[in-house]
Amino acid sequence: MCGIIGCAGRGDATLDTLVHGLSKLEYRGYDSAGVALAGADVEVVKKAGELDALREALETDSPAGTVGIGHTRWSTHGPPTDANAHPHQDCTGDVAVVHNGIIENYQALRDELSEDHEFLSDTDTEVVPHLIEDALAAGAEPEAAVREAVARLEGSYAVAVVISGVDAVFAARNDSPLVLGIADDAHYLASDVPAFRAFTDRVVYLDDGEFARITADEWTVTTLEGSAVDKSVSRVEWDAEETGKSGYDHFMLKEIHEQPRALRQCLQGRVDEMRGQVDLDGLERLQPTRVQFVACGTSYHAALYAVHLFQQAGVPAQAFLASEYATSPPPLDGVVVGVSQSGETADTLSALRVARRRGAKTVAVTNTVGSTMARECDEALFIRAGPEIGVAASKTFASQQAALNLLALATVGADDARAVIAALRDLPGDVQSVLDSTRAEEIAEEYLDSDAYFFIGRGLQYPVALEGALKMKEITYEHAEGFAAGELKHGPLALVTENTPVFAVVTGDGEQARKTIGNVKEVEARDAPVVAVTDGQSDVERYADHVLEIPETHPRTAAVLANVQLQLVSYHTANTLGRPIDKPRNLAKSVTVE
């Protein structure tokens, strides 16, 4: 949801540093990009379109300066045009601002400023440079002018500011992520660590209401009012190379193939197979009597999956779409778990805040150490998947499933805990064998010209069906829907034709499998092609046109393996259709607005 970067360095590296940083933040939005560098003047270059459009513009117009800011945009106010691209400036051209978030009182501010200031864009952001301009004109020092302007903002923001003749970048945050990077010869500010990870592993995570100032030599973090804040410096544990494509055509394919490693990392040091126990650094003391999950998108599907794990242990559990939870909060009595790859999703943060205000104990299950969610919740469980750059969540879904199994085992147990632990131990190898033997590409080719794609599953496999459909629609732009297998006959069956392949996830050979096979027969009777995703324990193959095999395993881990097959079908469909897989239209990876 927009990426911002700031850099205060030496020599002439700042521009390249900003562009490099933007290339690492493009997953947050790719409607436009821009930079501003400050020396005696502020020079701005910005372009609608992906970063390459900015790169091209910089070939002929290359601003100089040792301090600068940059932005990659996911549009909220106004279409993706050059004029709406950040940075935005004041009337004098001495101030430039980049912003991530939504300024809720921008219209009132704009009305107030319009008499004396000229606005050139549709954005909410543009009020900020004009507010700074007024403060400077009234005699405020640059830093004080920025503080004064920020104090007038309501809503969510991470802003970074440069001012002509000032060798510093100023920044502030409220409800949008901002992290500071510390190197020997430069300092950085960004929405996310990958923006400057190539230059340093030392970071300071800013909290809401904080204000930062960086120069080449020093950094300070204070409250917006100017009081000192004691910040600790953390070390990032992953390498810059992990944010590259490593020879894969797309980040998504790389990340699908990283799942065995991601799962190993998730499980490492947490599972004692001999004793059949899980050690989560004290989280096991939670022992909830009731659990509510809040999450969005793929993470919501992981939450739906987790509901089964807790209910199987006799603990009432529900999953809520985070955006709905805050609107109509259910009665509370227990623990509220936020599931989020980024740890910055505004809807999920908001739901967790509602829960906390009502007295709930909150737990963040997230991939991002230092994220707002991890810091705001009472407890955090990190899924350790490593950086995920592709907008479509892939390896993080598998790691969420694994981590939620650990959370359930550690806090409420399972009748067959040893069997689950053994299956989790084998999971990385089983995923690898799916990756090595999959026929997903062939099946993607076979059904390329379909009218729609349907996905069905029951129990633990229902969230997999939902996730299969989400991935398909997100990266291919084809119509796809996921259904609980038993629900098909209550309406959706009317959509089924010979040109709508149905992907049926059928694992095990118990009652659930038998019932889903009944649903498969209903589909087959309407001439729809059936692709069974199965471990071969049932006879679903008899009714399927194609089979995507997974190794035989525990039902919980079968849900991870089945999803890997479906990820690959979506990936190959999108690839054959020539879609921009890592950056699907209209989307962004980290959704920091409600």
What is the contact surface with ligand M6R in residues (CB under 6 A)? 296-299, 340-342, 345, 348, 391-393, 470, 474, 589-591
- Rounded to whole angstroms, the Cα distance separating 344 from 240 reads 21
Reduced to 3 states, what is the DSSP secondary structure of residue 61?
coil
Residue (72 or 340) nearer to ligand M6R, CB? 340
- Rounded to whole angstroms, the Cα distance separating 444 from 123 reads 41
Q: Lay out the sheet containing 379-382: strands in order across.
A: 317-321, 291-295, 335-340, 361-366, 379-382
Extended beta strands in 90-224, E state: 95-103, 155-163, 169-174, 179-182, 187-190, 202-205, 210-214, 219-223
Give the residue closest to ligand M6R by C-beta. 297
Q: Give the shortest CB-382-to-ligand M6R separation in angstroms.
A: 13
Residue (100 or 340) nearer to ligand M6R, CB? 340
49 DSSP 8-state letter: S
Examine the residue annotation and report whether 589 is marked as an active-site residue of this protein.
yes
- Rounded to whole angstroms, the Cα distance separating 63 from 15 reads 7
Residue (177 or 508) nearer to ligand M6R, CB? 177
Extended beta strands in 22-103, E state: 32-38, 42-48, 67-73, 88-89, 95-103
Residue (219 or 300) nearer to ligand M6R, CB? 300
Q: Give the shortest CB-395-to-ligand M6R separation in angstroms.
A: 11
Residue (538 or 590) nearer to ligand M6R, CB? 590
Q: Give the shortest CB-173-to-ligand M6R separation in angstroms.
A: 18
CB 276: neighbour CB atoms within 10 A?
A: 17
Query: Residue 193: what are its φ and ψ, rounded to 5°?
Result: -60, -40
Q: Give the shortest CB-326-to-ligand M6R separation in angstroms.
A: 14
Residue 115 corresponds to which tokens in the numbers above? Answer: 């008499």
Q: Give the shortest CB-564-to-ligand M6R separation in angstroms.
A: 14
491 DSSP 8-state letter: T
Beta-carbon contacts of 406 under 8 Å, excluding residues fewer than 6 positions away, are: 266, 267, 270, 271, 278, 280, 381, 424
Inter-residue contact 434 to 564 (CB < 8 Å): yes
- Rounded to whole angstroms, the Cα distance separating 391 from 585 reads 10
Reduced to 3 states, what is the DSSP secondary structure of residue 123?
coil
CB 379: neighbour CB atoms within 10 A?
A: 19
Q: Give the shortest CB-243-to-ligand M6R separation in angstroms.
A: 16
Residue (219 or 382) nearer to ligand M6R, CB? 382
CA distances from 13 to 24, 264, 283, 343, 350 (A): 17, 38, 45, 31, 39
Inter-residue contact 348 to 296 (CB < 8 Å): yes
Inter-residue contact 153 to 135 (CB < 8 Å): no
Half-sphere exposure of 576 (CA within 13 A, CB side): 17
Residue (90 or 258) nearer to ligand M6R, CB? 258
Inter-residue contact 193 to 180 (CB < 8 Å): no
Reduced to 3 states, what is the DSSP secondary structure of residue 550?
coil
**Does the CA dihedral 378-384-390-393 come out positive or negative?**
negative
> Could you check whether the bond before residue 177 is cis, i.e. omega within 30 degrees of 0?
no
Q: Give the shortest CB-274-to-ligand M6R separation in angstroms.
A: 34
Residue (191 or 519) nearer to ligand M6R, CB? 191
Inter-residue contact 540 to 506 (CB < 8 Å): yes
Examine the residue annotation and report whether 47 is marked as an active-site residue of this protein.
no
Inter-residue contact 490 to 460 (CB < 8 Å): no
Q: Give the shortest CB-554-to-ligand M6R separation in angstroms.
A: 25
Q: Give the shortest CB-562-to-ligand M6R separation in angstroms.
A: 17
Bridge partners (DSSP) of residue 482 are 455
Catalytic residue among 2, 7, 266, 377: 2
The label of the residue with tokens 């400057």 reads 196
Bridge partners (DSSP) of residue 53 are none
Q: Give the shortest CB-296-to-ligand M6R separation in angstroms.
A: 4
Residue among 286, 275, 315 nearest 411 (CA): 286
Residue (352 or 452) nearer to ligand M6R, CB? 352
Residue (24 or 589) nearer to ligand M6R, CB? 589
Residue (168 or 588) nearer to ligand M6R, CB? 588
Q: Give the shortest CB-414-to-ligand M6R separation in angstroms.
A: 25
- Positions marked catalytic: 2, 589
